[in-house]
Amino acid sequence: MSTVLIVGDVITDIIVMPEGPIVRGSDRRAVIRTRPGGSGANQAVWLGSMGVDVRFAARVAESELAANLAYFRAQGVEAVLAADRVAPSGVLISIVDSDGERSFLTDRGANLNLCAEDLPFSLLDGAGYLVVSGYSFFTPGPRAAVMALLKEAKTRDIPTAVDPASVGFLREVGPEAFLKWTAGTGTIFANLDEALELTGSVDLNLQMQTLGRFYPRVVIKRGVAGAAIGGRGGVTLSLPSPVSEVVDTTGAGDAFAAAFLAAELSGGKPDACLKAGIAAGAEAVARIGGQPARRDMPVSS
């Protein structure tokens, strides 16, 4: 199986699950947990847990470099991390509603300084897939670096994929700009909100047709409704999601993308890839945090 190269963020997720509405100026009891996260990091760790050879490129605070390298190594991930001497590593506060939906407060820290020196073309040596997190497109420096890497991957005929990652940041830069920057990427993995923001339509078939003008393959993650695959001609396959308990939806889309790609690299057909992605997403929402159970810690929270 070929190596998958993931480019994205390293983030520490602080997950807050309040017992009720936040009381302005006072206390509210809550379950608070700290977990490793970041869209790219989540995808890399899920792939590693599935036995896929995965290489992950990102940027972290110099003081946390050794700890991060050790962590990813323990999760079966070859991490190629640049050390930032000034900026801290990224931190995200995720406030989880009673139905498992999240709201984020994000400080991307060192991730904002990702640059071309951090992403040499040699990262593509031996790679059979390049996956880029949408977060890398939302600031000029990282955007230039990942666009150059995507261009090089295309010259080498390496399949590519992008995940928009954040509907909030999509709104800030504008869907037209994001589509321009990422057009020609082989596959887009978008959730319902991202597909709506990028196309302006709630109709699944129209979303597929619109996004298919920019990406040869479109995969839309539909949450409790399952997932669908298609392109310029519209939906070609849609599958439902199993009924499952929702604890925390953080990282469910990352788990989906990882399992979809793992199945594809194993020779799976589109239906098998969708089924694998949906199953991984269902597993992810049943536990706290955006990554599978760590190999160096118990599953209990």
Q: Which CATH superfamily is domain 3-10+39-88+113-285 in?
A: Ribokinase (3.40.1190.20)
- Strand-pairing partners, residue 105, are 93
Q: Return the structure tokens found at 298.
A: 């118990």
List phi, psi (to 5°) of 30.
Answer: -160, 155
Please give the Cα distance from 198 to 190 (Å, whole number): 9
pLDDT on residue 294: 59
pLDDT digits (tens, 9 = 90+) for 39-77: 899 999 999 999 999 999 999 999 999 999 999 999 999
CB atoms within 10 A of CB 264: 18
pLDDT digits (tens, 9 = 90+) for 151-174: 999 999 999 999 998 898 899 999
Please give the Cα distance from 171 to 300 (Å, whole number): 36
Instruction: Please report, rounded to a whole number, the percentage of residues in the chain having pLDDT higher than 70.
Output: 96
pLDDT digits (tens, 9 = 90+) for 96-155: 887 667 788 989 999 999 999 999 999 999 999 999 999 999 999 999 999 999 999 999
Q: What is the mean pLDDT of the chain?
A: 91
Rg for the chain, CA atoms, rounded: 18
